[in-house]
């Protein structure tokens, strides 16, 4: 039986690259997406055309009812969950903190923090030996912004990813003796369309000169780090972070 992985925000960018690579490496893949069902269906079609197994389910990670349904349906259709990639996230147009509205802060933290906690809670219920599970692995997708900040652009996004780092460390220790490993990747400036959400589709090309390797990264480069952390090759790693940032 194939190992089963669930990837939130799996219709684009890092999530989509991870879904495709996971399928190539023998996982049955469930990917979720909140708004772009067509893009999610296209990723599933790519995986199936290559002989893999995948399904896409619509879900808002900030909705508890959506999360309950997502995990129940994924396990019903694919089998016992063995891995989670906690990837869904949002950012909004870049601006200083003194221009940010309460509504913006609530939207960003609802998805990036509360959503990430809900997404981590459900696999723990299913994978922990404390709940009669057989173990598994969680990889949270953080950001180099958690370490470097994002002044004048996305202070709220950076803070939300700082919360992901703290959650990764805490949860890793909480479930380490229960067969679950919890790790994270911190992508740097990566060529994905999330930058368009911030109002600057070409942001990577603008800032790549500040990267020691002098280029932006590819989603596939992040996906490879994620798949390593999920794999048995990382069997003694928990509470670990991989910075995929070109040295930034």
Active site residues: 157
d(C-alpha 230, C-alpha 120), whole Å: 14
For 10, the 3-state DSSP assignment is coil
Residue 239 in contact with residue 169, Cβ under 8 Å?
yes
Residue 61 CA: distances (Å) to CA of 20, 89, 197, 215: 21, 9, 18, 32
Residues 187/141, Cβ–Cβ less than 8 Å: yes
Name the helix (H) or strand (E) containing 173: helix 155-175
Report how far residue 44's alpha carbon sits from residue 23's, in angstroms, rounded to the nearest whole number: 10
Q: Can you give the C-alpha Rg of the chain in angstroms?
A: 17
The residue among 187, 203, 248, 13 whose CA lies nearest residue 94 is: 203
**Residue 123 is encoded by which pair of tokens?**
């696999």
Cross-strand pairs, 186 = 243
> Of the candidates 184, 174, 166, which has an alpha carbon nearest to the alpha carbon of residue 225?
184
* CA 192 vs CA 71, 72, 112, 187, 215: distances in Å: 26, 30, 17, 11, 14
């Amino acid at each position: 039986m194939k190992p089963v992985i669930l990837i939130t925000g799996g219709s684009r960018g890092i999530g989509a690259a991870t879904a495709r690579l996971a399928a190539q490496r023998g996982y049955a893949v469930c990917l979720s997406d909140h708004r772009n069902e067509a893009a999610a269906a296209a990723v599933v079609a790519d995986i199936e055309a290559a002989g893999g197994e995948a399904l896409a389910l619509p879900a808002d990670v900030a909705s508890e009812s959506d999360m309950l349904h997502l995990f129940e349906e994924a396990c019903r259709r694919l089998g016992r969950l063995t891995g989670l990639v906690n990837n869904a996230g949002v950012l909004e147009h870049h601006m200083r903190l003194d221009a940010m509205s309460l509504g913006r802060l609530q939207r960003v933290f609802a998805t990036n923090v509360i959503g990430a906690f809900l997404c981590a809670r459900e696999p723990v219920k299913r994978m922990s030996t404390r709940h009669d599970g057989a173990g598994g692995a969680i990889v949270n997708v953080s950001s180099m912004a958690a370490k470097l900040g994002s002044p004048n652009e996305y202070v709220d996004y950076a803070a939300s990813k700082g919360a992901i780092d703290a959650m990764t460390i805490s949860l890793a220790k909480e479930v380490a003796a229960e067969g679950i490993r919890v790790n994270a990747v911190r992508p740097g400036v990566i060529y994905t369309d999330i930058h368009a959400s911030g109002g600057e589709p070409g942001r990577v090309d603008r800032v790549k000169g500040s990267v020691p390797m002098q280029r932006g990264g590819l989603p596939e480069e992040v996906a490879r780090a994620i798949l390593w952390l999920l794999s048995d090759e990382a069997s003694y790693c928990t509470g670990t972070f991989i910075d995929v940032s070109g040295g930034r």
